[in-house]
Structure 1
Amino acid sequence: MLPILNTKVQDQEYLTRIIMAKVTTELLIAQADIYGIEVETETLPDGLLGKANAEIKTITMNTSIEHISRLYKCVLAEEIGHILYPPRPGHVRYHSTGFVNLHFNQRGNTKIIVAQDERKALDWATSILIPDVEFDRIMEAGNYTIWEITERFDVERWLVDHKIGRYRRKEMDQGRKVKWRDIIKRSI
């Protein structure tokens, strides 16, 4: 619960502190709890960092990333996105061994469905971990490297790449063409 403040100046300062604060793993776990999502940790197969089961509202995180806080936080945010935006029919089938037995057209459609479901989860994760208002300011300034952005928001590179793609799509929808070189400073 947010405290009630007396003046507009205090309100502005308080809101600025909230906006500038980085989202932590603990905050994500608390948010998952509010949504009724259980987060557990166990050893998962190599390459699988986390998995979400939307039917029983459970996220399983791989113990191998438990102490890599930045990666853990990013994967957890994406998995929460999968619970909030559950996969449509076909997604589970895609991850099963029977996928290769599907007719070619079925495989193509399934891949599209999976890509769209993944985008929804990633969009949610980037919205939480990289707030639009602050990110838009950084993009308009155009003088930050990818690595400076990852440090500023304490997120993984792949999440920043997705956010930039989302920013570019949003700008394109408004009739503006945005190139990477115009918004991201090159690393030296």
Structure 2
Amino acid sequence: MTICGKEGVVMKEMYAIAEREGINIRWWDFAPPLRGLYWAPKDLPPVIALDNALENNTPLLRSIFAEELGHHFTLDRAAICRTYFNYRDRLAVSRAEYRAWKWAAEYLIPKKQLRKALRNGNGTLWDLAELFDVTEEMMEFRLKLA
């Protein structure tokens, strides 16, 4: 069972956030390892594209959707649509990914609820990931932030 039995509520909240922010959600067939992307051209509404394969994997869908929302809230839109050529550009991409992951982890796994889950004996990575309905990778990242 997920935290508070609200597995569908957070998904609805994320869709509501996207709608409120004017973000279009699109579903496509991506080739692995690509599962989602955030695209925000200068003169068009931003788009979050999600892989159709996520439909049957709720923890992965929630984690990726939240990360893409994280890009919306943490990126400079002017820097999104450009080509990266050098090491400094790659570092900027890494920082952008980190900020998006941090936003997603803190959104999906609030510190107060995480502390409560740990106090209640949910000590393993997979137990916590299942409880919060996220990937183990997302949970591991969140635990490092805590």
* Band the TM-score falls in, shorter-chain normalisation: 0.7 to 0.9
Aligned length in residues: 138
Residues 25 and 69 of structure 1 are in contact (CA less than 8 Å); yes or no, is this contact kept in structure 2? no
Instruction: Give ranges in structure 1 of 5+ residues lacking alignment.
Output: 1-18, 100-105, 168-188
Q: Which amino acid aligns with 1:65?
A: L
CA distance in 2, matches of 1:92, 1:155: 31
CA distance in 1, matches of 2:10, 2:131: 13
Alignment-derived partner of residue 160 in structure 1: 139
Q: Which amino acid aligns with 1:61?
A: L
What do the CA deviations read for 1:115-155 (whole angstroms, capped 9, x no partner)? 21111111111111101111133446676100110111011
User: Which stretch shifts more, 34-43 or 23-32?
Assistant: 23-32
Alignment-derived partner of residue 43 in structure 1: 29
Alignment-derived partner of residue 93 in structure 1: 83
SS of the residue aligned with 2:26?
A: strand
Q: Does 1:151 align with 2:130?
A: yes
Alignment-derived partner of residue 69 in structure 1: 58
Q: Does 1:137 align with 2:116?
A: yes
Residues 54 and 86 of structure 1 are in contact (CA less than 8 Å); yes or no, is this contact kept in structure 2? no
Structure with larger RCO (C-alpha < 8 A, sep 6+)? 2
CA distance in 2, matches of 1:38, 1:73: 17
Q: How does 1:26-41 map to 2 (within 5 A)?
A: 26-41=12-27
Task: Give the % identical residues.
Answer: 25
Q: Does 1:126 align with 2:70?
A: no
User: Which stretch shifts more, 57-66 or 85-94?
Assistant: 85-94
Q: CA RMSD in A?
A: 2.4
Calculate the TM-score normalised by the size of structure 2: 0.81
Q: Which amino acid aligns with 1:93?
A: T
